[in-house]
A and B are shown apart, each in its own frame.
Chain A
Amino acid sequence: MAEAEASRAPLVICEHCDSVYQRPVLARKQTAHCQRCGALLARGRRLSTDQLLALTMAAAIVFLFANTFPIMGISMQGLSNEATLWQTVEALAQGRITLIALVTGLSIIFAPALQIILLAWVLVHARAGRVAPGFRACMRALEHLRPWSMLEVCLLGILVAIIKLAGMLEVHPGIGLWAMSMLTVLIILIGGRDVRGLWDELGVGRP
């Protein structure tokens, strides 16, 4: 009986308190909240597969810019120096504290890069109406990467560093910084839960 119930009426379960509801039909930008604990239950899909793919491609390009060009530069008594994202991570890779360089590298370079690559892979295939090879692994990886992608924190960190250094020397923002800002917005748009819509859209796992 439970079997029939699970497959017939589309249900949602609140991940914060285990309450069960009929799946609400939501328009774009509409949200449904759990009446027991108040958590977000479901959200109307904001971006279609085409839009997600377009933004993912844009993110890939901006990512290359953000990682190629210096984030910012400083100059002091005729000397100057610049730093890219990678050099920022490298600055922490010193002897005993190298472990923290790995965490930082994950949060500002590798996690966003993987998000972009995996999204591009599943979305390119989805657009052609196919289920990408390794679809399940990609979707699971995307869920697990989400909390470790911290570009917005990095952006605030850059701002603080600029103010910190501006007191003693000259600071100039680089091309990488503008690319970083755009990348942060794009990752927030594409890295969300909209991609979960692909499960239903492609009918994966449906008997």
Chain B
Amino acid sequence: MSAPPYAGELGLQLCHTCDKVCLLDTHECPRCWSVLHPRKPNSLVRTWALLIGALILYLPANLLPVMYTDMLGNGSESTILSGVIEFWRGGSWDIAVLIFIASVVVPCIKFFVLGLLLVTVQRRSRWAMPERSRLYRFIEIIGYWSMLDVLVVALVAALVQFRALSTIEPRLGILFFGLVVVLTMMAAMSFDPRLIWDAEKNDVR
């Protein structure tokens, strides 16, 4: 079984928006009129920028409180991690694990995997190419589940509004956390997984 040819070798490129096979020297998809690029433009620079931006915002996202709870006059602020610990102590370890995975494990996996992909692509590494492809698809799928905590805070804050008895309000941390999710999603979108395979070719860009 011989390896399939690459699109570039046949003078072809893919329209990312509508899947049409287009000629390499056209600049606009004849079918959907999207702008064509053989590779996503400035993929590495953009992905690095978004990834570093997300990493920086990840600090305030974890250090600042995401929620303020007022119970019968006793106010307290909680961060993402203290929320997880509260669930754990309260006996709902399953929810604690769920939120921990969505808010801590998933973003950290994304940081690590995107960093790994960027570094290996820049070194034109031929190491574990199918596995690295699979890793990329994995973070593409799991990325948006991190929005979970933002939605939980929003729901709880919308519901618990009893002036005298109890109120819950969102706090600044949730903004940073939401931005981290958006930036990591954009970073994953701007990374071009075809760059992984370009290491196999000799005459790339």
Contact = CB atoms under 8 A, between A and B. Distances in A.
Q: Are A and B physically bound partners? A: yes
Interface stretch (B44-52, B109-117, B150-158): B150-158
B81 interface: no
A19 B6 contact: yes
A157 interface: yes
Interface residues of A, number: 70
Interface string A166-206: 01100000000000000000000000000010010000110
B182 A103 contact: yes
B188 to A, nearest CB: 9
A149 to B, nearest CB: 9
B51 to A, nearest CB: 17
B63 to A, nearest CB: 16
Contacts of A20: 4-7, 10, 12, 21
Interface in A68-101: 71-74, 76-77, 79, 81-83, 87-92, 94, 96-97, 99-101
Contacts of A90: 158
B32 A6 contact: no
Interface residues of B, number: 74
Interface of A: 2-3, 5-6, 11-13, 15-21, 34-39, 71-74, 76-77, 79, 81-83, 87-92, 94, 96-97, 99-101, 103-104, 107-108, 136, 139-140, 143-144, 147, 150, 153-154, 156-158, 160-161, 163-165, 167-168, 196, 199, 204-205, 207
Interface of B: 1, 3-8, 10-14, 16-24, 29-34, 71, 87, 90, 92, 95, 98-99, 129-130, 133-134, 136-137, 144-145, 147-148, 150-162, 165-166, 169-172, 174-175, 178-179, 182, 185, 189, 193-194, 196-197
